[in-house]
Amino acid sequence: MKVLVTGAHGQLGQDVVAIFTAAGHEVAGCGRQELDITDMGLCQQTIAAYHPDAIIHCASYTAVDAAESDADLAYQINAVGTRNIALAAERVGAKLVYMSTDYVFNGQTDQPYHEYDHPDPRNIYGKSKRAGEILVQSLCSRWFIVRTSWLYGLYGSNFVKTMLRLGQEKPAIQIVNDQKGSPTYTVHLARFLICLTESDKFGIYHASNRGACTWYEFAQAIFEEAQELMDWTASAVLEPCLTGQFPRPAPRPVNSVMEHFALRTNGFEDLPPWREGLKEFLLALK
């Protein structure tokens, strides 16, 4: 299968390129320098020239707080850019996998979100990603929308790497304990994307590592596993706190946990538990 990956130099994109290549697919990885997704003509030209069977659209504006004061840029990338990729994909008959987010929900319920629960994003980032979802559904005939959450991987910065660094630099770290979600290892997500893309089971999917925790519980697990699996010792004490103690420009969902209903009903193997993902990541990082 010929696969084109947008956002190929990002945290998820680099693993998608590597894992699809290792699985025997012919992969073209396009970062921002190779493909400006906000340029419709360039999208049409690049995708027509490569003529992929599938496009994994990882390129995204993800600066959640900055989006509140720069909505134009967030929508230009997450909505307009996605429209451009969707139109180009449809023109060559390619499947399109659009990577989306738990932030399309308001996070106010105490139950995990199903794929067809009503989206109600609370911040600009979530609203712009939801706009991208709508455009994919409107403009493509062969699409997958994959919502994921709390991503971390070997490439780029993320919560796990930050905790490992701060754990040795600070005497104490306050971590919010009233936001719940599912930490997701990019390698596990990329492996699922292969299974999904090789199928014709189009639709919306929730894909995250199984189980849930708060950010504070995640930090606790990072410290515990790093001390067991790596030559690492924490100097910091972890202290739970409330979201309200650290006000930020963009409101965060209290509950980001997503039900994997579509994975089960379509016969896909679920992702491993989140703690397994954390262990695998720390061993790879070591």
Give Cβ neighbours of residue 22 (< 8 Å, ≥ 6 apart): none
Percentage of residues in the chain having pLDDT higher than 70: 100
Catalytic site residue from 98, 103, 113, 125? 125
Q: What is the residue-averaged pLDDT of the chain?
A: 97
Per-residue pLDDT for 231 more than 90?
A: no
Give Cβ neighbours of residue 45 (< 8 Å, ≥ 6 apart): none
Q: What angle separates helix 159-169 from helix 215-229, to the nearest 10 degrees?
A: 70
Instruction: Note the pLDDT of residue 112.
Output: 97
Model pTM above 0.95: yes
Question: Which overall architecture, per CATH, does domain 2-157+184-209+257-272 show?
Answer: 3-Layer(aba) Sandwich (3.40)
Model confidence over 160-174: pLDDT tens digits? 999 999 999 999 999
For residue 269, the 8-state DSSP code is P
Model confidence over 13-32: pLDDT tens digits? 999 999 999 999 999 999 99
Query: What is the Cα–Cα distance from 244 to 261, expressed in whole angstroms?
Result: 32
Q: Give 175's strand partners.
A: 240
- Return the residue matching tokens 């451009």: 84
Model confidence over 35-78: pLDDT tens digits? 999 999 999 999 999 999 999 999 999 999 999 999 999 999 99
Q: If you average pLDDT over residues 197-209, what whole number do you get?
A: 98
Per-residue pLDDT for 217 more than 90?
A: yes
Per-residue pLDDT for 246 more than 90?
A: no
Phi and psi torsions of 255, nearest 5°? -120, 115
Per-residue pLDDT for 256 more than 90?
A: yes
Structure token pair of residue 200: 């014709």
| Residue 219 pLDDT class (50, 70, 90 cuts) | very high
Phi and psi torsions of 54, nearest 5°? -150, 150
| Residue 104 pLDDT class (50, 70, 90 cuts) | very high
For residue 9, the 8-state DSSP code is T
Q: Judge whether 125 counts as a catalytic residue.
A: yes
Q: If you average pLDDT over residues 99-128, what whole number do you get?
A: 97
CB count within 10 Å of CB 84 equals: 23
**Which candidate, 63, 60, 50, places its Cα nearest to that of 2?**
50
| Ranges of each domain in the chain | 2-157+184-209+257-272
Per-residue pLDDT for 145 more than 90?
A: yes
